[in-house]
Structure 1
Amino acid sequence: MDNQSDFYHVPALLEETIHGLSIRPGGVYVDVTFGGGGHSKEILKHLNPNGRLYAFDQDEDAEKNIVEDKRFVFVRSNFRFLYNFMKYHGVKSIDGLLADLGVSSHHFDDADRGFSFRFDGALDMRMNKRAGTSAAELLNTLPEEKLADIFYLYGEMKNSRKIASLIVKARQTKKIVTIGDFLEVIRPCISKTQEKKDLAKVFQALRIEVNQELETLKEMLEQARELLKPGGRLAVITYHSLEDRLVKNYFKTGNFEGKLEQDFFGNTVSPLKPVSNKVIVPSDEEVERNPRARSAKLRIAEKL
């Protein structure tokens, strides 16, 4: 991997993901989270001249890592538009798809992106800086009840109503613009004994709302299922329980609620079959090399 890509993001569970995709050399594959290109480059190594790889990323910074390869096509878009872009490129079906849902090291380490409480900078959090609504805009405009729901549902903060109340009260006298502004407002709600953990939850909740991450994930999974050929593989790497629950339920039951549907004979009815019922996690050696991979979970399913 080149220095630019390595700086951008070290791919988690790389070997396990490639193995799980069971790549067909002449097949058509999609990496819906291109980022630094680590997973994409490895997929290309397993394709012959007839194989094709389509990579999605809405972040303009990812474009610096575009691979120069005739078998590779970069799509500048959110993966929620997967089906439309595949149709645009004349692709009716695919052999496999990868989604690495983690926020890259590049994003966390860039103070101007607003993803981390370690810096003071603009409170943005948009994966696509060219569209959408920033975190600061949401904090300054959303109703108190909506803000409370965000921090409770996406951050699992038990004091979400207090956080929302402080935000609404503070913005009446001064707009919340920077990370510093935000931290100053919510500080009374953050436990001193587990400050980093609480702040991580709050920032995760806000990021999920800004980027509509869970709804986008649902849309992508349904489109991927439609595009996959019988026997095609779907590999998804998640980093928090909200994403993992959706993926686990969808792979097992074909719906996001996890409701089992059975046929006349009592067999589970689902368009997908988990390749393994056991989630794949990084080895101790990988976590030592790449601490950000600690919370990664890989699930793989096959189209029936």
Structure 2
Amino acid sequence: RNMVTGASTANLSIVLVDARQGVIEQTRRHTFIAALLGIPHLVIAVNKMDLVDWSEERYTEIRDEIEDFLPKLGAFRDVKFIPMSALNGDNVVEHSKACKWHGGTTLLDHLETVHIASDRNLNSFRFPVQWVNRPNNPTDRQLHDFRGLSGQIASGIVRKGQEVVVLPAGIKTKVADIWTYGGSLDEAFCPQSVTVCLEHDIDISRGDMLVGLENLPGRSADLHAQICWMHSRPLQAGKKYFLKHATQTVQAIVSKLESRINMTTLEPEPEPAALAINDIGAVRLKTAKPIVFDGYTTNRLTGSFILIEQGTNATVAAGMLSAPTEAVKPEYTDFAI
């Protein structure tokens, strides 16, 4: 539960393994969650090597056991194994004199040099609207008619004059201006927070989304997702929750529990009766109205959601959406009244 909330926006995950205990269920669980969350870079830090006399044989045994199940996850761009002793700082900042057989990098050096610049999706523009920005009694008269759409760019690049589609309305328009606190920009990219002004006055509110004309997202009320259950009360089919996706919140029902991941084998067990706390499984959901979304592997922001318990407002699950079966079909191709 703590790892899901803490690592949901991370680029790199460090899984700590005690050299004495080796690979345990928590090792498998945390590695699986890192893969599920789409974290592209993984470090396996084999700690307390000083307590096993810096045995290369023990290190190799742990590495081979982890490499045995990594192909089942298939999500990481790179995996680095580092033997270390945090107590004395061996292979943390400087190379250990007691571990001459390790010719690789230290932990800090790897963290400082790992390439993360290309981790973000810069191809498909997605801009969930968080707030319709209309200044109240502005001192500048030119701002009396100002109307912008504020939010964080989830993916892609937006430029002045670029054509965009407003979803779910399906209306096409152009970007007139892009504002930040520092002034107007010619272009902006994820994960910048900006205010976008459009050429036309269109009925847009919080929860709507501006998208580029290429690689359109999906739109559906029937969703398939992997979820991490985080509440002490088990999840059962038929339960209703609030589903918070990007900047909108809708009512949803868990219509079916399809499978639960066995953390020993990392294989799915079909049709479980319930998901207990810390369980991970595949579910079907039905929302009160269709949402605009991408698959989580394509876009971590527009492909993720949380489930909120009605009445208590407790966050009970984090979810990763499967790719839509078909792209949204805009109802209108041009601005219309």
TM-score normalised by length of structure 1: 0.29
Structure number, greater radius of gyration: 2
* Higher RCO structure (Cα 8 Å, ≥6 apart): 1
TM-score normalised by length of structure 2: 0.27
From the two aligned structures, give the one with the greater helix fraction.
1
